[in-house]
Structure 1
Amino acid sequence: MATVASRETRGARTRSFGGCTTCRSRHVKCDEGRPTCAMCHYFGLVCGGYGKDLFFDSSERAGRFRRPLLTEKERENMCQRLVSSVPAQSTQHLLTQIDEACEKAAGGQEIQLHCGPFGVFRASQLPRADSPCTAIIDPLLESRDQRSNSPPQGLTGICDDLTIPLDAPHSPNNQQLIWPVPENHSEQIPNLPSLPPWNNMEIDLDHIEEVIGGASFMQSADLNHFVPPPIPAPSITNNIHSLPHNATILIKHYSTTVIGLMTPLRHTKTPWHVLFIPHAKNCLSGLTLCENLNHASLTAFYGTLAISAISLGGLSKADIWFQQGRKYKQRAAHHARHMLETAYDVPKTAKYKSILIALLTMVYVSMFSDNGDQTEFYFLQTEKFIRLRGLHRRKSRKVRLLHHCYAFERLVYESTFVGDVNSTQRHHVRSSVESSGLIHYSQDSLSFRLPRCINLAVEMLRARNREEAENDLHIERSGIWNATLYPEIFGISESWIFLLSRVIRLGRERDASEGSDLPNPLTVKEFVTQAKAIEKEINNLQRPDLSSIQSQDDQQHVGNMFDAMKYALAIYFYRKIYDLEAHMLQIMVLQVRNCLLQCESVGPNVLYGSTGYIWPAFIAACETADPEIQLSFSNWFKTSAQRSGLSTFTDTLANIERIWDEKGSVDGVSMTWHDLVK
């Protein structure tokens, strides 16, 4: 009964927009075959054909759809009438006259041609008296004028007075702010494969109505409280046709190489396959069709190009790609600022998923370009947007995928964050959420406080309901949530994410209690009890279910990567909470190193999921003083940098080598990476 009620509440929806009348009335998928569809033939039904209607909706809430104006039979008859309207003996003569007129025309001269069944080749102005086209007279038009300008029989309603100017100016409502793009120098870069033309544009048909309530919580003055470091705004041109010439190459590289770095899994259901790439392709098609895209779409589009260009620059060692990456990053940041100024407006200026994709794209751009200040800024803006616009809504699978991506990256970021946890930016985000009236939707604390628990082992076995699990943004509460998406995105269990969150919170409690910054701090007994419970659960962590992965090699690869994450989490716990000396952690350091080396042999070109596993390599490498083991970690980072083209590997290795040097120059046995990074 609950299922029936929920279906009635949602209402029936048509599964095929352009299907035949029969399939649409039956709410089944139609293959849209012509003149009749195969589904009706399969079920033995009479195909109702396709309606004679045309529908375009270019609003931001709807997609772009077209349905045929005429039936298949009517279009065939129209083609036959058009062909028969031109005498066979004069067709070649007319084409020759048109070619001669075009060849004689001066450069930039407007030409008005009245040849052809429709006479469609007309300029926006009348031709000059000396125009070579004035001597060309279309006998078809003369005969039509003699018939009182009546259109051919059967074509009533089709406009044959279409004016197409050669250089049509764009009205203010249709102007686009398109960034100037440098020339495409990809032919100068060796070893780059030639790519086919862009023939397969995917349009996102998911235009489900999003329910957004409440008032606007972002004021224009709010952005002045904290902004990312100043970025020089690039010059803007109104030439709507200035599209990125290398967008096809960059999106292709992103979909074939960069995505493989995000996840160790090789299926096509990751958030990047079903959300980020289709969104980028949709934006490219929109720019090609001269549409006015919102700032959220342009942010995601140029951010994607920036990531891909940075990767290509690292692979090809060509400075032109680095220059392109920097320019695309500037454009993305420019649109991101305008996007945030109106992100909370009512009515909304962009879809929730579009803004969230744009924010996450800027997070990845900042992370891969090693800009800590911008990474902090976009993480906090993403958290604020989710809490104010995402937690109170019903979450589709796509929205949950985006929330999972944010939570994973944010917790990994917080684990190595050495800045001020009470900074002005963080305080502003907390204040905005608390004053919005939506704070009760958040199932976790806004400041990474550690919740009190009686028995962690028992609490981790309880089943969580959907609302609690989906609105526990930073995975504060314990329990089992079978619908979690972490295993199919990152190949890790949600228990690992939960324990990492608990270690971060316990470490914050410890640091704050030493400085007396927290109200109601933990007692020593509570701290030890919590620490022992977390330690036990880390040691008992089990691999997630990998039965859905068909290839045994892929299962071994994902299993090795999970083991590396588990051992690194143990190292992180013992260093952060118990402050054990480095020589007591060497067994786990070796285990992490061995797991990474085993994963290297899986693919000759790409180490799948390598960007997500910089963290375990960093945590383990910082704790070793053995030159041989240090060399192993150093080679892993260098190899990953060569395979990915991303500088984040070399930047992380530089920080590790600095830590090694400082530990060797002082009595640093008891020092942690946390102390050295400061």
Structure 2
Amino acid sequence: MAGSKRGRARRSHVLGGCTTCRRRHVKCDQKRPACRTCRTLGVPCEGFSDQVLWMRGDEGEVAEGGRRGTRRHLYTEQSRLSMSTALSKNLLLGSIDASLAEVDLRSRDPDREPEGDIAIGPFAVLDFTTTARQPKADVVIYQEDELTSAEPGPVQGPASSTIEEQIPDPSPASIIDSLSQMDDFLHWSDLLSFSPDQAGLTTYPTLSMPNDFSIDLGNEMSVFQDVQNTQEEPTGILNPQQASIEVVSATPDILKDAQFLLRHFQDVVIPQIMAIPFGEKSPWKILNLPAAVVAFGDTTFLGTSGVSHARLANLYGILACSAIDLALKPPTELVELTERWDRIANQTYQLAKDHIQVSLQQETHGPNKAKYKDQLMAANILTQYAILSGQQQHARCFLIDAERLLRLRGLSKKRISKKARLLHHVYTWLRIVGESTFVLHDYSLSYPCLEPLGQSSRSHTSREGSSNLATQAEPNPRLDDFLRLESQNSDNDLNIDEPKDRGKGFHDIHLHDSRSFPETLYKQIYGIPETWLSLVSQTTRLANVMATFVVARNAGKSLRLEAWETLQRRAFRLENMICSFNLGLTKGAQTDPQAKSKPHAFMLDALNGALLIFFYRRIRDTHSAVLQGHVDSVITALEECSASMSKGDPTGPGTAWPAFIAGCEAITSNRREAIMRWLDHASSVSGYASFDTARGILTKVWCRQDEHLLTTRGDPMPSWIDIVKEDQIWPLFC
């Protein structure tokens, strides 16, 4: 290396030499006014050329013997002013960001003219389009979120869902630490297809009746079916329904309150809609709220054009949630203010529904495709509004459309981002807790699910079981109606001691598998372990399948005895898991007394005790008198939770799920009064419809139970399941 440097030819001239030395190609020492090289050779030095200097406002002295050169203007001052004015006029609404977005939008427009440049102000793109417009290709590859699919042809499967290289996810610790550091300018939600009361829409046939929630999810249908079949089985495929939708623009009266409503959503609504008084940042604050703020700015003072319908649906959904919160608990002396907020809630909710429907129809595929996270955020917030306002039928539609979108665009990715996982966690909570109280299924539709259960008990090969688990890590394109059990060898899905692999953990959106997953985020988001939610999911699913068996047997169907034995074996193992989980939480609280004093710890105790009651009601159909000890534990935990929260604490009161599950089993006046006191207090704090729904069902259940204890001894004791089925109610406590 040293030898090569020594042998390298040295520069024989320098930059900035005099004119004579430069012409003679000799080295100049640059001495001024005449260089020494010229003086030594006896030739006249022709001097040095002017140097280019930046112009300055002050006129300082020029160095002795030197001259100052200036940059020559190519245009006059008037010409430069004219060019600056013309350039600013060509910018879209004076916004550089809007101009860049418009260039990108026009370059992807399939219907644009083939001739002419695509330019906005100083920004442009190269256009290689030929003069003869080529016909549209049948297959479109979506590089970011989408399946590689034909429109409306078949999906080729998970292997072709993306061309992106798989990138390893960060460690669980880094995911947890970064929850509060996520940027605010993200992608929103989406979803929800079509509400049953939307005029002019092709709605689900099974939702045409006011209280009919018996939605057939089409177990035997495939994602490969054509969109035209949606009239027969609208929920069996993943393609959004097609309908002609006209979106009504927001009025100034709505948007003038937007800033106040967004702030109210942040300060009041978010702490109260959290299921557990946890006090940490929620996904609503990390994802939905910043996205709504950006969408509000784009549509108002920034004047940005082309804001996606998914973003607008999320914005109006948040405004609707904030307005309905104000309408449900207004100042008592201002009745007209209540009516105003109620009117704004209805208007913004209608706008949100219109925009999400247009988004599902027009922004799921093609060049105008909205971001997956934008659509899923919109779906989640609209589901939450339906729950807060007591519109249970709409909530069912939104949840089904959310799952359709999640399976079509979310689970098809090879790499699921942290933000998408947060939104998946929100959906999972809403769906599982909501399904736990949904007993309005048409159980006769799930008869075929019983046969594989009888056959699965004959195989006990662990290697085959592992193969089945690996296979189920792939995304399942079918919508889940909670009316089937996965038939895995030796019931491996109930082995809670084994950890899930990453593929299974990311794609198990309904927590079929009760094994632990180290990278779960439920503890950080809701303050509850994923195991609790998984046990609720499996209890609900097993209870639905057992109800299917009873309905099939009463209908005279020929069923295998092995199927019933399999169900009983799963029930025994699930009971052991729930009891072990309960004991584990109790021991953990004893070893950490400081954690026990926090409100979310008491609410977790209430949820855990209610889970035991839920299992013995849905699976064992145990008499209420046997469950009074668990009812007492739930009442105590709820009372301690309320007492541990300070008077000005914005969080709480928490979910009504444990109060409802335990209250339906209370058979003494003291226990019933304690449950009613907690519900009355919670209703006075939030005013949400779930607490009134719980009170109404509890009153009917207690009345029927008292009549049963006085008049008959042979029939089963009435439960909340009987009341809900009779009244066609779906109580939502999520």
TM-score (norm 1): 0.63
Number of the residue aligned with 1:63:
none
Contact 2:704–2:718 (Cα < 8 Å) also in 1: no
SS at match of 2:441: coil
Distance in structure 1 (CA, Å) of the matches to 2:669 and 2:494: 43
Shift of 1:515: 2.0
Asked if 1:309 corresponds to 2:318, the answer is no
Number of the residue aligned with 1:86:
none
Distance in structure 2 (CA, Å) of the matches to 1:221 and 1:495: 33
Shift of 1:422: 6.3
Q: Superposed, which structure 2 residues align to 1:598-617 within 5 Å?
A: 598-601=640-643, 602-605=645-648, 608=651, 610-611=653-654, 613-617=655-659
SS at match of 1:406: helix
Change (3 A) 1:551 1:513: closer
Q: Superposed, which structure 2 residues align to 1:45-64 within 5 Å?
A: none
Q: Superposed, which structure 2 residues align to 1:64-79 within 5 Å?
A: none
Number of the residue aligned with 2:576:
536
Number of the residue aligned with 1:460:
496
Shift of 1:388: 1.1
Q: 1:284 aligns with which of 296, 317, 337?
A: 296
Q: Superposed, which structure 2 residues align to 1:591-630 within 5 Å?
A: 591-601=633-643, 602-605=645-648, 608=651, 610-611=653-654, 613-630=655-672
Shift of 1:320: 1.6
Per mean C-alpha deviation after superposition, the further-off stretch among 457-466 and 368-377 is: 457-466
Asked if 1:273 corresponds to 2:309, the answer is no
Shift of 1:332: 1.3
Contact 1:600–1:607 (Cα < 8 Å) also in 2: no
Partner amino acid, structure 2, of 1:399: A
Partner amino acid, structure 2, of 1:442: N
Number of the residue aligned with 1:385:
405
Q: 1:258 aligns with which of 249, 265, 269?
A: 269
Q: Superposed, which structure 2 residues align to 1:126-165 within 5 Å?
A: 151=77, 157-159=83-85
Q: 1:673 aligns with which of 717, 720, 730?
A: 720
Change (3 A) 1:561 1:342: same
Q: Superposed, which structure 2 residues align to 1:364-443 within 5 Å?
A: 364-393=384-413, 394-421=415-442, 440-442=474-476
Distance in structure 1 (CA, Å) of the matches to 2:329 and 2:256: 20
Listed as ranges, the gaps of 5+ residues in structure 2 are: 1-53, 59-74, 95-100, 103-141, 154-192, 196-200, 211-243, 332-337, 449-471, 710-714, 726-734
Number of the residue aligned with 1:226:
204
Distance in structure 1 (CA, Å) of the matches to 2:316 and 2:511: 31
Asked if 1:558 corresponds to 2:581, the answer is no
- How big is each residue's C-alpha offset from its partner over 1:344-403, in whole Å with a ceiling of 9 and x where there is no partner? 323452100000001111111111111121111111111111111111211111110110
- How big is each residue's C-alpha offset from its partner over 1:635-657, in whole Å with a ceiling of 9 and x where there is no partner? 21221122123232223222222
Change (3 A) 1:161 1:486: closer
Asked if 1:475 corresponds to 2:511, the answer is yes
- How big is each residue's C-alpha offset from its partner over 1:273-311, in whole Å with a ceiling of 9 and x where there is no partner? 210111111111111122232211111111111111111
Number of the residue aligned with 1:450:
485
Per mean C-alpha deviation after superposition, the further-off stretch among 154-163 and 632-641 is: 154-163
Change (3 A) 1:609 1:218: farther
Partner amino acid, structure 1, of 2:303: C
TM-score (norm 2): 0.59
Shift of 1:217: 7.1
Number of the residue aligned with 1:659:
701
Distance in structure 2 (CA, Å) of the matches to 1:653 and 1:287: 42
Q: 1:648 aligns with which of 690, 693, 713?
A: 690
Per mean C-alpha deviation after superposition, the further-off stretch among 600-609 and 637-646 is: 600-609
* Structure of greater Rg: 2
Change (3 A) 1:608 1:597: same
Q: Superposed, which structure 2 residues align to 1:308-387 within 5 Å?
A: 308-317=322-331, 318-347=338-367, 349-387=369-407
Listed as ranges, the gaps of 5+ residues in structure 1 are: 1-73, 81-148, 175-207, 428-437
Contact 2:245–2:357 (Cα < 8 Å) also in 1: no
Shift of 1:213: 2.6
SS at match of 1:159: helix
Shift of 1:608: 3.2
Shift of 1:606: 5.1
Change (3 A) 1:439 1:534: closer
Shift of 1:677: 1.2
Partner amino acid, structure 2, of 1:251: L
Number of the residue aligned with 2:566:
526
Asked if 1:496 corresponds to 2:532, the answer is yes
Q: Which has the higher contact order (CA 8 A, sep 6+)?
A: 2
Contact 1:478–1:498 (Cα < 8 Å) also in 2: yes
Number of the residue aligned with 1:215:
149
SS at match of 1:479: coil
Number of the residue aligned with 1:91:
none
Partner amino acid, structure 1, of 2:511: I
Per mean C-alpha deviation after superposition, the further-off stretch among 309-318 and 581-590 is: 309-318
SS at match of 2:429: helix
Shift of 1:503: 0.8
Contact 2:313–2:356 (Cα < 8 Å) also in 1: yes
Matched residue pairs, number?
482
Distance in structure 1 (CA, Å) of the matches to 2:703 and 2:204: 35
SS at match of 2:666: coil
Shift of 1:229: 6.8
- How big is each residue's C-alpha offset from its partner over 1:465-518, in whole Å with a ceiling of 9 and x where there is no partner? 111111111110232211001111111111111111111121112111112289
Shift of 1:239: 8.3
Contact 1:295–1:338 (Cα < 8 Å) also in 2: yes
Asked if 1:505 corresponds to 2:483, the answer is no
User: Once the two structures are aligned, what percentage of the paired residues are identical?
Assistant: 25
Change (3 A) 1:573 1:218: farther
Change (3 A) 1:279 1:454: same
SS at match of 1:349: coil
CA RMSD for the aligned pairs? Answer: 4.2
- How big is each residue's C-alpha offset from its partner over 1:241-265, in whole Å with a ceiling of 9 and x where there is no partner? 6761111111111111111123335
Q: Superposed, which structure 2 residues align to 1:581-592 within 5 Å?
A: 581-592=623-634
Change (3 A) 1:551 1:278: farther
Shift of 1:528: 2.4
Shift of 1:587: 0.8
Number of the residue aligned with 1:32:
none
Change (3 A) 1:221 1:499: closer
Shift of 1:454: 3.0
Change (3 A) 1:230 1:347: farther
Change (3 A) 1:258 1:443: same
Distance in structure 2 (CA, Å) of the matches to 1:278 and 1:153: 43
Contact 1:363–1:378 (Cα < 8 Å) also in 2: yes
Distance in structure 1 (CA, Å) of the matches to 2:277 and 2:283: 12
SS at match of 1:477: coil
Q: 1:578 aligns with which of 620, 640, 643?
A: 620
